[in-house]
Structure 1
Amino acid sequence: MTTTFYIGSGFQNIETVRKLAGTLMHEGLRQTYDWTQNDKTTDEEQLCAIGEAEVRGIKDADIIVILLPGGKGTHTELGIAIAEEKKVFLYAMDNKWSDEERKVTFYYINGVTIIKGEMQRLITAVKETAEGYRLSCQV
């Protein structure tokens, strides 16, 4: 069984999201939804379709990665992931975890893991979790 992932973030991080997704897919994981293929829009019908696809992508994923700082919907993605009891990894690309605005209650609950330091630490944590998930599915 292939472990699946979803990456939540904002348009300002689009290249990093694409690079991380490519790395995880190279490691054998499957991305449930790639929102980076969308253009920014204010059209309500397009927003509805994109929002529904993103919710489905989160629900279908085994692992959720949230890259901070995010966009307008990033914390909504986090909330859906928490409500769906997904394994969540938070990674701040600017590594500013001591800033007061980063002290969000939901970052510190069970099921959410904060990764600090180099992005390779995030990749390693996701790969290890995916491997554990694959092993538990084989039992």
Structure 2
Amino acid sequence: MMKFYIASSFIKKADVRYVADKLKVKGYSHTYDWTKNERASTFSQLQEIGLLEKNAVIESDFLVILLPAGKGSHIELGIALGHGKKVYLYSPDEEVNHFETTSTFYHLPEVIKCFGSLEDLVEKIRTD
């Protein structure tokens, strides 16, 4: 069973849950669901969540990033790339292809850029 982790921002919680549910129905296993957390209010909570998320990325077979995403998601991208993971980078508006707003790391060979609907993203993961 392939394992996944989804990185994004708090404002994308509903989309993260949608994609996770669709992938689980297709037989994938979610390594950690951070959307169940509230925002951390102490440094010890930040550390605890950070360890859980770091370990979930390392344990996963692939990472999904739903843009727009914050600095935490980009750190998770770095962890995944550093561990040789495949990354599905979802950009609803193809912003990743705009030179002014893109990141160097979005264009590495192990990063698969995905556009369209969230359903298109799930289908791309399933058939890849």
Q: TM-score, normalised by structure 2?
A: 0.93
Query: Partners in 2 of 1:111 and 1:99 — Cα distance?
Result: 19
Match of 1:25 in 2: 24
RMSD: 1.3
Query: Partners in 2 of 1:7 and 1:21 — Cα distance?
Result: 8
Report the CA distance between 1:120 and its aligned residue. 2.2
Identical amino acids, percent of aligned pairs: 38
Unmatched 5+ stretches in structure 1: 130-139
**Conserved in 2, the CA contact under 8 Å of 1:63 and 1:126?**
no
Deviation beyond 4 Å, 4+ runs, structure 1: none
Unmatched 5+ stretches in structure 2: none
Matched, 1:51 2:50: yes
In structure 2, do the counterparts of structure 1 residues 59 and 75 end up closer, same or farther at CA, with 3 Å as the change threshold?
same
Letter of the structure 1 residue corresponding to residue 6 of structure 2:
I
In structure 2, do the counterparts of structure 1 residues 12 and 94 end up closer, same or farther at CA, with 3 Å as the change threshold?
farther
Query: Partners in 1 of 2:54 and 2:100 — Cα distance?
Result: 25
Report the CA distance between 1:57 and its aligned residue. 0.3
Three-state SS of the structure 2 residue aligned to 1:42 is coil
Report the CA distance between 1:101 and its aligned residue. 4.7
Matched, 1:112 2:111: yes
Larger radius of gyration: 1
Letter of the structure 2 residue corresponding to residue 108 of structure 1:
H
Match of 2:6 in 1: 7
**Conserved in 1, the CA contact under 8 Å of 2:57 and 2:76?**
yes
Three-state SS of the structure 1 residue aligned to 2:27 is coil
Give the number of equivalent residue pairs: 128
Report the CA distance between 1:71 and its aligned residue. 2.1
Match of 1:134 in 2: none
